[in-house]
Amino acid sequence: MKKILFILFIGLSSSAFTQDLTNTPFGKGIINLMAKDSSWTTKVAFRFQTRYDGEYDFSDSTFSDRAYVRRARIKGHGYAFSPKIQYKFEYDVHNGQVLDAVIKWNFAGNWNIWFGQTKLPGNIERVFSSQKLQLVDRSLLNKYFTLDRDAGVQLRHHLYLGKTFLVRSKLAVSQGEGLNRKSMSSGNGYTGRLELLPFGKFTSKGDYFASDLKREETPKLMLSLTYDYNDNATRQGGQMGSNILGSTRDLQSIHADAHFKFRGFSFFGEYANRVSTNGGPVNELNEVYHTGSALNLQAGYLMENNWELAGRYTQVNFEDATGLDNFTQFTFGFSKYVVGHNLKIQGDLGITQEANNDEILFVRLQTEFNF
């Protein structure tokens, strides 16, 4: 399947390059097409991340490292028959799986309905594209408590209170079991998110990418609250984690986050809480659900030469009944943006403190290349 998709991608790229694409700047896609009658458009891009990880374990004074491809993806979007009917797709070449395949229909004014597989309207850090992160990777809060992607339907709406106060609401009903599940669902996921932007829209959708690359001239703020209920969750984290073979649990998750940008300075903070509503987080097979709470705080400053310094503090506290160790992590990093998030180099250094274990010092270096 990977080979077929890769050959198809190369073939389309070769065909596209027989046309005059000299006006397409770097980072705006390899293929940009519009039908002569304007009945459809498509933009196709390819991106990859190369990465180095090193870890020093204080318990036995050992250092281990690796270099590898972190991500490699083909992605695209456009519209069909009308700009009101849009689509998005993303394929993970590295792991061989479909990430996004969703249709978006603007059926009435400020109302949109989405159908297919894509990211749920969950915590802000997860909704950031992995291409558009401020540090090398997402936090431990996201690792254990995110909602991630799922298949289903989403209803989205926005309105203004006055001239600038923007309110966005997002509702989703999904199968609740994550990516590419072909079996019948044992229950569903129900998600709602409310976003408040008192000072209006961020420049160029800057509320959904890290770092103040647009150098907002006036303060911009987004305050958000997400609620998710996953009925008969069959994975440790609902849509994420290992599969559960024994009796299942209903999981209730709450996420609260804030995102602020102003003149090169950016900050976002997240809080997550997850509980099991019909029994403890450990079933009769000693399978453990990820329940508990987490806090993540992150800030950075982008200098005029497009170098950025950033820092992060993350605290993860699992419920005592899970038997899992708690984490505290400190991360400090830098980024050099050559062409925004499309071409950049990032590195970070940090310490992970795990209860009942010695500290681990880590260093990471990553490049991002996006056509």
pLDDT digit string, tens, across residues 59-114: 999 999 999 999 999 999 999 999 999 999 999 999 999 999 999 999 999 999 99
Of the candidates 195, 192, 183, the one whose C-alpha atom is nearest the C-alpha of residue 224 is: 195
Instruction: Report the C-alpha gap between 267 and 97 in whole angstroms.
Output: 32
pTM summary value: 0.91
Which tokens hold the place of 65? 């490292």
Contact status, residue 291 vs residue 276, Cβ threshold 8 Å:
yes
315-335: per-residue pLDDT in tens?
A: 999 999 999 999 999 999 999
Q: What is the pLDDT of residue 18?
A: 46
For the record, the structure tokens of 11 come out as: 């073939």
Quote the CATH superfamily of domain 45-70+110-370.
Porin (2.40.160.10)
Q: What is the pLDDT of residues 254-267, one digit of tens each?
A: 999 999 999 999 99
230 touches 187 (CB < 8 A):
yes
Of 299, 312, 297, 216, give the one whose Cα is nearest residue 264. 216
Q: How far apart are CA 264 and CA 310, in angstroms?
A: 12
Name the residue among 122, 366, 356, 143 with its Cα closest to residue 241. Answer: 143
Query: What b/e string do you get for 44-62 counting C-beta neighbours within 10 Å, with b at 16 or more?
Result: bbbbbbbbbbeeeeeeeee
User: Hey, CA dihedral for 95, 96, 97, 101, is it positive or negative?
Assistant: positive
Side chain identity, residue 215: R
Q: CA distances (Å), 33 to each of 16, 21, 102, in order?
A: 8, 10, 19
Q: Which tokens sit at 350?
A: 């940090």
* pLDDT at position 6: 52
**Are 163 and 198 contacting, i.e. CB atoms less than 8 angstroms apart?**
no
What average pLDDT does range 142-157 have in this prediction? 97
Residue-range domain boundaries for the chain: 45-70+110-370
> pLDDT band at 202, cuts 50/70/90?
very high
Query: How far apart, in whole angstroms, are the C-alpha atoms of residue 257 and residue 297?
Result: 10
